[in-house]
Structure 1
Amino acid sequence: MNIRTKLFIFIPILVILINLVSFFVFQSGKKVQESYNVMIDRVFLYKQISMETQENLRLLSGYIANQDTNSYSSFLRHKGKLQALQASLEKQNRGGNEELILENYSHLISSFLELETATTKKLLEQDFAGYAEQYKEVEKIASFIREDSQNLVDLELSNYQPIFKKIMANTRSMNQLGGILFILTTALSIVFAIWLSRSIVIPIQRLVYIAKQIGKGNLDIAVPVFQAKDEFSILGNMFHEMLENLRTLMGKNMEILEKERLVKELELKALQSQINPHFLFNTLNVISKLAYLEGAEQTSDLTVSTSNLLRYNLRKLDEPVTLRDEIKHAEEYFAIQKARFRDRVQFRLDINEACLEQAIPCLTLQPLLENAFVHGIEGMEAGAIIELSVKEIDDFVFVAIFDNGAGMTEETKEALLTASPVFPTKRRSTGLGTTNVFKRLRLFYEMEEIVDIISKQGEGTSIILKLPIKQGGQGKVCINY
């Protein structure tokens, strides 16, 4: 039985049982309430009739004493209310002796109303002897109505008592039945919850545990086998297949990574073994001293810059450096390019000293500066500007390299940002291309939105690096060639 069938069977059963309990309790309360409302309505009607009769008598007496228009209006208004109450009384359907009692009661009210009318008529006709006798009759009938009203209230209460006892007995029976159904539904709910947890929740917990272990990199964990032929058995089989595929892929990836590591190590060794660093540094130092002795200070400075540049390039590229080191290396590189371009180019620095301890992959700025020289300002005869700025905004260090050179197309910009090849095979750079610099930055800072390029053909290019603050030079940097 699959999970959907289980839920469609057992949940409606529980809902129906709970609704039955609620229905029985509601019906019991409804019957009691209806009987009580009927009895209260009748008692209230009798009391209203008694009170309205006394009010009519009082207003009639006031009209006899004052004989003004206001008293007569009030008397007529309350007389109308009494007639309305009499109409409500006549609508009640009662059987046996009660029907006769109510009929006599209604006749008393009719007599009271007729005598009131006759009294006011004689008063208007100035028949003082006649209205006095009729007023006495009105008072007598009003006292009869008050007594009968109280008798009817007592009768109503006495008649309602056995009915109320019967209703209460039925209510107790229904409450007992409701209690039995409540206990039954509670027991079924507990049994269903235990069964559901064993058949659904426990397998889910086991699968979640397996998923967490796989997420932690533990691929040696065994996937449980579910005996029930439901969705969990399918999920278990899929987990097993996924785990086997992951193990296979991890093995292949480890082989590929090991091969790439060996190739990169050989490439780096081949690059560094092309010249003897110690011999080269010593030779450049000798040339620098000789140029200084001969008075060629510019040649001496250029030789020292070249020596520092080569020494920096031959350091371990998989270790990060500080932004201070990268800027110093960029200055050495620009000093060499300055000897080539002379007054055709200006190099501007706008550096926030507080950002210079920012960790950054080695050889990040030089390839970007070289790209600005080769593809930006190389064709300019004068007025070329390259600017390097470092600022801290919020929790990021922004490094911007600007040139006012040729700019680039949108296709070239998108290709650089997506690491697609855009330049010819014959390149004129250090070997660490711009796209590889961007890739190393993304890997080092573990975020994608780290590079932005603003460029327009004929107006120059700005490469902006948004670096999360990362102090020091600890950790490893991925090398790409």
Structure 2
Amino acid sequence: MNSIQKKIWILAGVVLSIMAAIWITLTYYNQKTMDQYNEILQRYLSMNEVTNASQQTITSLYNYLLTPTEVNLAQIDASKVRLRKARIAMLDLRSEESDFALTNYMNLIDSLIETTDRSLLFQSEKESEDSDKAFSEATRISKYISETTLTLLDDDLKTYDRFYRDMINQSTELKKLGIWLMLTITFMLLLFTYWFSSSITRPILKLTQAARELSRGRFDLQVEVSSNDEISFLAKMFERMRININNLISEIQQKAQLENELQQNKLLLRESQLRSLQSQINPHFLFNTLDMLSKKAYLEGSEETSDLLASVAGLLRYNLKRLDRTMMLKDEVKVLGQYIEIQKARFTERLQFNLEIDESCLSIQLPGLTLQPIVENAVIHAVEPREDGGKITFRVIDSGERVTIEIEDDGPGMSEVKIRQILDEDNFETEGHSTGIGFSNVVKRLRIFVGQDDVIDIKSELGHGTKVILTIPKTKGSVKDDEAPDRR
């Protein structure tokens, strides 16, 4: 069942063979002709260069004899160098027929250079008469070189006249051969194409008629094609398609409808899940904070209390109004600082908080109230239970296409089992503390926001502290400061 393929390969092989033969023949002929033409042209150019160089030498010598300056002397030297190069180039033009003439020609060049040097020598010895004689001799030699050049050119023109005429005749014959070849190839291709296309189009026309009847809803007509190639197999498959087409169309439509509904339900579920997680706000934080602030104001009555109130106000405003939006890392760091100010007022020197922030990373976005619950968890487990307090380090690191956020404490640490429970948010849930948002809530919201499970990692050992690592892509909603949403 591969006769169509064989026909195509035969047609391609014949065309390629003919075209390759024609191309090789034309290329060989053209290259041979171009080589001969270039050789003749090079002879003409070389002899013309000798004439020009000799005339330039005489002109430079004449100028120097009139005005013996260093500039004119340098022009003579340059002309002689040019003349020597032209003489060397003439060596490549030697042949058995022109060996004697070219030898005399090069001897004339040597004589011109020698006579020029002799004229310069006499000029330097203040022998003007001898210098003028040498100049006259050099002028005569230059003229003789020009005449010899014309003679050689004329001989070459006579020698290669037959070549030119043969080349023109061959070009004419080649054009005629090309025309006949094109006509022959075209005729052969037309015959082969007609036979090839007919063997394909006839059964295809039958398939077309059957398809037209199927498009009209007539599925009772049998498809029959009499051929011994791939189209016969296609007709059999077409016949099977005719039998099952109604069931297939119905199945595809139902499947497409179900997939569309499933996709919409997934989107709605993710959106509702995110909103549900973001809406978990526990007012218990407000009560505890206000109680602490009231006791602080009662005991101190200082300006520090005013600062604490400002921090609390900013923190509450952020908590109550921004959970339904994504926030810039800059805003999260700011509200984290307000939270730390409140906790420092509570724990005083027991709480050590260090910041290591790459300012260029603060424009990325992440869900609101992501950092504070993590730091708060560190305060509760690493600072509050210990009499001497604890240390928390917050880092923002540029990691190429991502931004790495690390919250590290020197608390008691946790086991591998506990870490797996936290990262498997379906099987673990921590109670929210002052904000009412637990660790598991943060994990869920981050994974929904980024769309990846590896957005958060925890490294910890019992007795050696805990490090929480967030990896946020820069391309996930990163904006410039002037493009950030309204923060009022």
Q: Calculate the TM-score normalised by the size of structure 2.
A: 0.50
Are 1:100 and 2:100 counterparts?
yes
Cα distance, 1:202–1:78 mapped onto 2, change above 3 Å: farther
Q: What letter matches 2:230 in structure 1?
A: E
Post-superposition CA distance 1:243-279 (Å, at most 9, x none): 34558x79xx9xxxxxxxxxxxxxxxxxxxxxxxxxx
Q: What letter matches 2:141 in structure 1?
A: I
SS at match of 2:134: helix
Post-superposition CA distance 1:412-458 (Å, at most 9, x none): xxxxxx99xxxxxxxxxxxxxxxxxxx9xx69xx9858964545599
Q: What letter matches 2:153 in structure 1?
A: V
Are 1:182 and 2:185 counterparts?
no
8 Å contact from structure 2 (residues 53, 79) kept in 1? yes
Where do residues 319-358 of structure 1 align in structure 2 (5 Å cutoff)?
Answer: none
8 Å contact from structure 1 (residues 25, 178) kept in 2? no
Q: How much has 1:74 moved relative to structure 2?
A: 0.8
Where do residues 426-445 of structure 1 align in structure 2 (5 Å cutoff)?
Answer: none
Matches of 1:70 and 1:120, distance apart in 2: 14
Post-superposition CA distance 1:161-200 (Å, at most 9, x none): 1012222333333333322221121112212221221122
8 Å contact from structure 1 (residues 24, 178) kept in 2? no
Cα distance, 1:456–1:154 mapped onto 2, change above 3 Å: closer
Q: How much has 1:212 moved relative to structure 2?
A: 4.3
Where do residues 405-420 of structure 1 align in structure 2 (5 Å cutoff)?
Answer: none
Cα distance, 1:93–1:201 mapped onto 2, change above 3 Å: farther
Q: How much has 1:13 moved relative to structure 2?
A: 0.7
Where do residues 395-406 of structure 1 align in structure 2 (5 Å cutoff)?
Answer: none
Where do residues 158-173 of structure 1 align in structure 2 (5 Å cutoff)?
Answer: 158-173=158-173
Matches of 2:176 and 2:16, distance apart in 1: 20
Where do residues 460-479 of structure 1 align in structure 2 (5 Å cutoff)?
Answer: none
Matches of 2:221 and 2:19, distance apart in 1: 45
Q: What letter matches 1:173 in structure 2?
A: E
8 Å contact from structure 1 (residues 49, 85) kept in 2? yes
Counterpart in the other structure of 1:61:
62
Cα distance, 1:231–1:128 mapped onto 2, change above 3 Å: same
Cα distance, 1:122–1:458 mapped onto 2, change above 3 Å: closer
Q: What letter matches 2:89 in structure 1?
A: S
Cα distance, 1:212–1:93 mapped onto 2, change above 3 Å: farther
Q: How much has 1:40 moved relative to structure 2?
A: 1.7
Matches of 2:26 and 2:176, distance apart in 1: 10
Q: How much has 1:157 moved relative to structure 2?
A: 1.3
Counterpart in the other structure of 1:85:
86
Counterpart in the other structure of 2:118:
118
Q: What letter matches 2:129 in structure 1?
A: A
Q: What letter matches 1:240 in structure 2?
A: E
Where do residues 210-249 of structure 1 align in structure 2 (5 Å cutoff)?
Answer: 210-227=210-227, 229-245=228-244
Matches of 1:182 and 1:23, distance apart in 2: 16
Counterpart in the other structure of 1:43:
44
Matches of 1:119 and 1:172, distance apart in 2: 56
Q: Which structure is larger by alpha-carbon Rg, 1 or 2?
A: 1
Where do residues 289-308 of structure 1 align in structure 2 (5 Å cutoff)?
Answer: none
SS at match of 1:91: helix
8 Å contact from structure 1 (residues 18, 185) kept in 2? no
Post-superposition CA distance 1:40-74 (Å, at most 9, x none): 22112111211111110010011111111110011
Counterpart in the other structure of 2:344:
none
Q: How much has 1:213 moved relative to structure 2?
A: 3.2
Q: What letter matches 1:2 in structure 2?
A: S
Counterpart in the other structure of 1:3:
4
Matches of 1:140 and 1:457, distance apart in 2: 105
Q: How much has 1:151 moved relative to structure 2?
A: 1.1
Matches of 2:146 and 2:275, distance apart in 1: 111
Q: What letter matches 2:81 in structure 1?
A: G
Matches of 1:458 and 1:24, distance apart in 2: 78
Cα distance, 1:237–1:74 mapped onto 2, change above 3 Å: same
Counterpart in the other structure of 1:71:
72
Q: What letter matches 1:187 in structure 2?
A: F
8 Å contact from structure 1 (residues 45, 89) kept in 2? yes
Where do residues 365-380 of structure 1 align in structure 2 (5 Å cutoff)?
Answer: none
Matches of 1:85 and 1:458, distance apart in 2: 90
Q: Which runs of 5+ in 1 are unaligned?
A: 254-417, 420-438, 461-481
Matches of 2:184 and 2:110, distance apart in 1: 60
Cα distance, 1:65–1:447 mapped onto 2, change above 3 Å: same
Matches of 1:170 and 1:139, distance apart in 2: 45
Matches of 2:274 and 2:174, distance apart in 1: 89
Matches of 2:244 and 2:91, distance apart in 1: 90
Post-superposition CA distance 1:442-477 (Å, at most 9, x none): 69xx985896454559969xxxxxxxxxxxxxxxxx
Paired residues in the alignment total 268
Matches of 2:161 and 2:274, distance apart in 1: 102
Matches of 1:130 and 1:104, distance apart in 2: 26
Cα distance, 1:230–1:65 mapped onto 2, change above 3 Å: same
8 Å contact from structure 1 (residues 223, 236) kept in 2? yes
Counterpart in the other structure of 2:322:
none
Q: Which runs of 5+ in 2 are unaligned?
A: 278-488
- Aligned residues: CA RMSD: 3.2
Where do residues 299-318 of structure 1 align in structure 2 (5 Å cutoff)?
Answer: none
Counterpart in the other structure of 1:478:
none
Identity %: 21
Counterpart in the other structure of 2:22:
21
Are 1:34 and 2:35 counterparts?
yes
Q: What letter matches 2:242 in structure 1?
A: L
Q: How much has 1:152 moved relative to structure 2?
A: 1.3
Post-superposition CA distance 1:381-407 (Å, at most 9, x none): xxxxxxxxxxxxxxxxxxxxxxxxxxx
Post-superposition CA distance 1:205-242 (Å, at most 9, x none): 43244334324422133313223x21111111222333
Matches of 2:165 and 2:14, distance apart in 1: 35
Matches of 2:274 and 2:95, distance apart in 1: 104
Counterpart in the other structure of 2:155:
155
8 Å contact from structure 1 (residues 50, 149) kept in 2? yes
Matches of 2:223 and 2:26, distance apart in 1: 51
